Every structure is written in structure tokens, then in C-alpha cells.
Structure 1
Amino acid sequence: MLTYTPGSTIVHRLDPRTKLAFQFAFALVAFGTLTLPRLVGLFVIGLGCLHLADLSIRAVLRAYWFVLVVLALGPLIAAITLGPPWLRLDPAVVSLRSVARIVPILFVSAAYIHATPIRETRAAIQRTLPGRVGQLLGVGVALTFRYVPVIRADLRRVRDAIRARNGDTRSLRERSQRLTVLMVVRALRRSDQLAVALQARCFAWNPTLPRLRFSRIDLPVWGLSIGFVAFAAIDLLGF
């Protein structure tokens, strides 16, 4: 699971608002009309973001392996037909080109998670979206980033405990039921602990968040983001 890692790379030093804007603009271009040269360009930019954030592609693939497996099933399912010739290549190629655009978006998001503290993400959201909407979204994102690794760790512990008790000898249905029940119990227990922890720490909707300030290195990234948005708009309007 990818988490924030302190560092001094260019991506680490960018303002979180700049990084969020870049992700948004990059996704707009990725979901536009996709050609092979554009797909190659998306991968080059995505890999470049990983390099600038000092994050290895192996770590990203290990963190997102399940998502990549699900994406890989799309072209396979699209190729299957219920009659002769049973497999068709053209739908598989179309599906492959559709799901391939997700991979560079994952690369960019992985670079963001690796190089951005959770508190800065919350500060960027709350200072971009005014009022209670921004506060609610900021709190939700912060709690999600913090608790997804915790839930994954609970899942691994429950699975290891089932195996230690020879649970892997049971049928898949029984193992799935047991795992689901235990995970629901742990999730409810975690929610109670979270509520108590928030009360103990006098949870505030508008806490003192870190100061955010743009620097010179943010300017070219903003320029690139604006260029991406303009390119996506021109592509959408068909100019």
C-alpha cells in the first residue's frame, strides 16, 4: 500500500493544489479521444511523474496489482463471444485501448500519494472549496488515506489467522463467509475507536492546517495543466 514518504524531490516541493490541478487536467486528456501516439505520451508523462517523485514502477505495480488484474480482464471478456469464432480480436483491441488509459492515471496518482502529506491534501481541499462542503470533503479524504492501509492490514491479519487454524482446508464459500463476518466486526470496532479518538482529541471542523504557498516550480506545472485543459476542450469541441 502506497503512503506518503518524506523526501526533497520536485514533486514533494510542489504545492498540493498544483498537484491536484495537474491530476485533474491529466485525467481530462486521458479520457478524451484516444490515439496510439496520445497513449504513448500519457505513459511517458506518467512514468516521468514517478521518476520525479523518486518512486519505482515496481512499487506502484505491487500496490495496484489487483486493479491492474481487473483492468486486464476487460479485453479478455470483450474478446469472448457466445458462438463461432468464440474469440474476436477487434473488440479486445478496442477494450484494451480503453482500459490502458487508466494505467498512466494510476501512475500520476501514485506519485501524488507518495509525495504529499495527508494534512496538506486536506488543507488544499478546504482552501479550494469554501464552507462546510470543503471541510467535509477534506476530512473524508484524510480519513480515507489514513484508514485504507489499516483496513488492509486487518484483512491480512484475519486471513493469516484463518490459515493458522486450518481454515484454508474449508470450501471457498465457507472461507468467504468467515472472512466477511470477521472483517465487518473489525470495521465496526474500528469505527467505534475512531469516534472515541475524535472526541478525545476535540475534533474540529476547521483546525489549524499547514500553510500553503506557491513557489516558482509551481508555475510550469500550472502552465502544463492549463495546456492539458485547453487541449481536452479543443478535442471535445472537435476543433
Structure 2
Amino acid sequence: MLPYEPDDTLAHRLDPRSKLAVQMGFAIAALSHTAPGALLACTLLTGAILVTTRVPLGRTLAAYRVALVVLVAGPLVTTLSLGSPWLEPSEGVGPALASYRALLVLLVSAAYVRSTPVRDSRAAIQRTIPGKPGRLLGAGIALVFRFLPVLRTDLRTIREAMAARLGTERSALERASTTGVLGLSRAFTRADRLALAMQARCFSWNPTLPTLSFSRVDVPAFALAGALVLSVLL
């Protein structure tokens, strides 16, 4: 999972609410447009966003490797048939384009994660969605961003420990079951410790969050988000 990295890029200076608007507008446009010209425009926009936020493409693709496997496997499976000619490449064109559009959305979301602190994301959500639902959603997203990297580290530690004990000599099913059982055990242990730590620190539904304010640099971001949505409506 990609972490937030402090920097002085334009995206880092934007209000998180304007970045969320751009991300939502891009997702709507990318998943709605199917014409080659629109797909090229979305690709160029994605490249501009990655360059602006200084997102390393190689590391981002490595972080999304599990999702990439699913995105690649879908079109490949659709090209297979149960009878002659066994392989129909034309059937995989549509799913391949859909997978590519989903990949563009993932890359844009990576730019948001890299340029936005977790506290700012929580503040943006809680101030956009009123009441307890917003506080619950904000707290949940903040916990996910902080909890997932810990679980990934635990899984990597388990795999390294198995490899040091010649676990690679076992069957794939046995390795997967062992990793799954130990991973779930670690996850539940972490969850119990997290709950205890939150109680010890008097977890609040309405904590003091960072102050958010719009500036002039947010105007182009909202204009871009509006243009993306209008491109779908019109």
C-alpha cells in the first residue's frame, strides 16, 4: 500500500475535498467513456496527474500487483472458449478496455494517497458528510489507512519466516493455508490491541481535526472535476 509522502507539489497544496472531487469526477468519466479518443484523453490526464504529484509509476504498479493480476486475468479468461477455435481474441477487447480504465482510476487514487495525510482525509469526509455517519466513515477510513500496512508487514514477516525454515519446499496449498491461518491470527491480535489502545486513549467520535480551507489553487481542481462530470452528462 502506498503511503503519504510530504512534498511541495501542487497536489499537496490542494484541499483534500477538491482532490476527492477530481478523483470522483475522473472515475465517473473514465468508467463511462468508451470511445478511443476519450480513453486517450483519460490516459494523458492520468499521466499529467502522476507527473504533477511525483508518483513513481513502477512502485505504484508493484503495490497494485494483486489488482493487476485480476485486471489481466479477466480479459484472458474471456478469450477462452470451450470448443473450437478455443481462443477468440475479439471477445477480450471489451474486458481489456474496461480493465485499462479501472487501472487508470487506481493510478489517480494513488496520486491522492501520496499527496494527502490520513488526518486530512478524515477531516474532509467528516466535514462533507454530516452527523455520526460522517464521523464513523472518517474514523473507518483513517483506521484502514493505518491498519493495512501493519497487516501487510505481518504477512511479509510470516512468509520470510517460512522461507527461513524451508517452507518453500512444502506444497502450495500447505503454504497458503499456513500463511492464511497465521495471518488471521495476527490480524485478530492486532485488532484486539488496537481496540484496547483506542479505549486507553479515550477514543472520541469528534476529535480535533486539522483545519481545512479552500484557496485559489482549488478553483482549477473543482473546474476539472466539473468538466469531467459534464463530459459524461453531455
**Range class of TM-score, shorter chain:** over 0.9
What's the CA shift for 1:61?
1.2
What's the CA shift for 1:92?
1.0
Q: Deviations over 1:118-171 (max 9, x none)?
A: 000000000000000000000010000111111100000011111111111111
Residue in structure 1 matched with residue 89 of structure 2 by the alignment? 89
- Matches of 1:56 and 1:171, distance apart in 2: 35
Q: Equivalent residues in 2 for 1:1-239 (5 A)?
A: 1-234=1-234
- Matches of 1:230 and 1:15, distance apart in 2: 22
**CA RMSD in angstroms, aligned pairs only:** 0.9
Runs of 5+ consecutive residues of structure 1 not aligned to the other structure: 235-239
- Matches of 2:98 and 2:173, distance apart in 1: 33
Q: Deviations over 1:11-41 (max 9, x none)?
A: 0000000000111111110111311111111
- Matches of 1:107 and 1:171, distance apart in 2: 35
Residue 39 of structure 1 aligns with an amino acid whose one-letter code is L
Q: Which moved more, 1:165-174 or 1:178-187?
A: 165-174
Q: Which moved more, 1:60-69 or 1:182-191?
A: 60-69
Residue 176 of structure 1 aligns with an amino acid whose one-letter code is A
- Matches of 2:182 and 2:61, distance apart in 1: 28
What's the CA shift for 1:172?
1.4
Runs of 5+ consecutive residues of structure 2 not aligned to the other structure: none
Residue 71 of structure 2 aligns with an amino acid whose one-letter code is L
- Matches of 1:33 and 1:219, distance apart in 2: 25
- Matches of 1:231 and 1:56, distance apart in 2: 29
- Matches of 1:69 and 1:37, distance apart in 2: 26
% identity of equivalent residues: 46
Q: Which moved more, 1:122-131 or 1:50-59?
A: 50-59
Residue 14 of structure 1 aligns with an amino acid whose one-letter code is L
What's the CA shift for 1:94?
1.4
Q: Deviations over 1:66-125 (max 9, x none)?
A: 211210111110100000111002111111111110111111100000000000000000
Verify the 8 A CA contact 2:33 2:39 in the aligned structure 1.
Answer: no
Q: Deviations over 1:197-234 (max 9, x none)?
A: 10121110100000000010100110111111112122
Q: Which moved more, 1:166-175 or 1:187-196?
A: 166-175
- Matches of 1:30 and 1:78, distance apart in 2: 22
Verify the 8 A CA contact 1:75 1:95 in the aligned structure 2.
Answer: yes
TM-score by length of 1: 0.96
